[in-house]
Every structure is written in structure tokens, then in C-alpha cells.
Amino acid sequence: MKLLRYGDSGAEKWGVLDAEGQIRILDDALVHVTGDELSPEWLAHLVKLDPQTLPLLKTKPRIGPAVPRPLNFVGVGLNYADHAAETGGKIPKEPILFLKSLSSFSGPYDDIVIPPGSTKTDWEVELGVVIGTKASHVSEEAALDYVAGYCVVNDVSERSYQKERGGQWDKGKGCDTFGPVGPYLVTKDEVPDPQALALWTEIDGLRRQDGTTANMIFGVKTLVAYVSQFFTLHPGDIIATGTPAGVGMGIKPEPVFLRPGQEVRMGVQGLGEQRAKTVGG
């Protein structure tokens, strides 16, 4: 099932995509659905619904982030060997974690705002893992039991803020609009193997990233279990699992970064695609 959120920022409602790619309204159906949002019980009720029997959304609203604002928006750094190589980084012995500010959380078609004075704003397509059950100190064997589904994440990054402004990644990863999520939350029953998904990015129609989640250094099971050792993951939390090679700072002979007026398109196999314009802040 492909779930989505539509409406003005902060006032989004749940919808579901039908077989024809149309949005169906879930308002009335959710009244009869028990369990907390994104919990296994909640999802089990939803997957029994026939989208064709639900009211059709006849307007064309804004598509918001694929889940409500999370408590934790977790990023994983240097999780593809080819990306580590292009940036000159070493293969990490343990996952590198950082937190994206919740002010970065935005929709898949919302504008990406390049901060005033920024010269090194970059793109990163990533597989997002959405938590469905509260997770603390879970094992790798049980890790996927805590996952509700998957989505596309763009871990937009300002490289000078990230690397040249005091050594903390967060300030380069958490600027407003730097975390587009969606368009869909695809329930995990439709993604039998999260380590076998193609993912890609195009900037103004030019293919820049073309990778596969098979090349992750630390896979989804490992990441969910690992993150849960340090802080509790809550339903709706997102883990952005790292990006493959092809980011702007890795382009030779000279890095290429985003500027206002460009189109950023990216997608993950089976999870839909994002399409955003860049604007000056």
C-alpha cells in the first residue's frame, strides 16, 4: 500500500494511492481503524481496505511529507563505499549518525531553499526507513518487525556548513527545507528486500546518481538495531540510510553544487519520485 499526506503544511491528511495512481480519501475509513498511527495493528486494518471503494480526491492539493512530523529524523553518513571514496572518507567501522533538524522536514515537491550566501548546497538521494513500533535496544534479527515502511529522502547538505564550520555535520544537514520526504510511505509488505532497490538523482535532466541499496555498508536491519541502542525510536521516526556516489562535491575535476532555478528529481525503486525546484533564500 502507498500511503501519502496531502494538504497545506501542518494540516495534512492521510490518503492512499489507488491502482490508477489516483488519491483516495482516508478520513472516514480511519474512524474505524484502531491502534496508533503506523503501528502494525493500524497498518493491518488499512491494508484490508479496497482503495477503489474510498472517495476519490478530485482536487490537486499539495503533497506533503509522507509521514507526520517525526520525533527523530536520523541520518547515516558514508554508508556506501563508492560515496565514501568520492568524498575521500574512510569506510566507517560503525555507522556514522547525525540528526537532521525538524525544520528541515518538507514535502517531496516543495521548493528547496538554498540558504543566503550558500555556495555548496548538495543533493543526496536516500532510502528512508519509517519506524512503526517503539524500538529500544532491539536485535538485528527482530529489527524489521519495528519498521512500518519505506520512503524517498533527499538529505540535502550544505557542504561548507558541514565541513568548514566547526566539525559538526548537523549545521550543514538541518537547514530549512533540507529534508524532503516522500511522496509515499510504502508499507513494508510491498518491499520484500530493502537491500535490492535502485535509487537515482537527476539535476536539470542530467543523471547524477545511479546506485543500488545492495551496496550499503550497513543494511537496514543493522541500522535500525544500531540506532535503537542509543535512543528510542518512535512511530513515524525516519532513518535516512545514506547515499550512493554521484553527489555534487564528488564530481571531477570540479565539484558542482545547486543554484537557484534548478530542478531536482530523484527516486527509489517502487517508492515514487521527488521533484523540486531550488530557490534562493
The set of cell numbers assigned to 76 is 547515516
pTM above 0.95, yes or no: yes
Q: Which residues pair with 23 in a beta bridge?
A: 17
Alpha carbon distance 68, 70 (integer Å): 6
Instruction: Give me the domains of the chain, ranges plus CATH numbers.
Output: 2-53 (no CATH), 73-280 (3.90.850.10)
Q: Determine how many CB atoms are found less than 10 A away from the CB of residue 190.
A: 14
What pLDDT was estimated at residue 238?
98
What pLDDT was estimated at residue 90?
87
DSSP letters for 83-111: HHHHHTPPPPSS-EEEE--GGGEE-TTSP
**3-state SS, residue 126:** strand
Q: What percent of the chain has pLDDT over 90?
A: 91
* Mean per-residue pLDDT of the chain: 96
Q: What percent of the chain has pLDDT over 70?
A: 100
Residue 126 has pLDDT above 90, yes or no: yes
What pLDDT was estimated at residue 60?
93
Residue 146 has pLDDT above 80, yes or no: yes
Q: Is the peptide bond before 115 cis (omega within 30 degrees of 0)?
A: no
Query: What is the 8-class DSSP label of residue 135?
Result: B
Residue 169 has pLDDT above 90, yes or no: no
pLDDT confidence bin for 84, thresholds 50/70/90 = confident
Which of 85-89, 159-163, 256-260 has the lowest average pLDDT?
85-89
For the residues 182-198, what does the mean pLDDT come to? 97
The continuous run of DSSP H or E covering 49 comes out as none
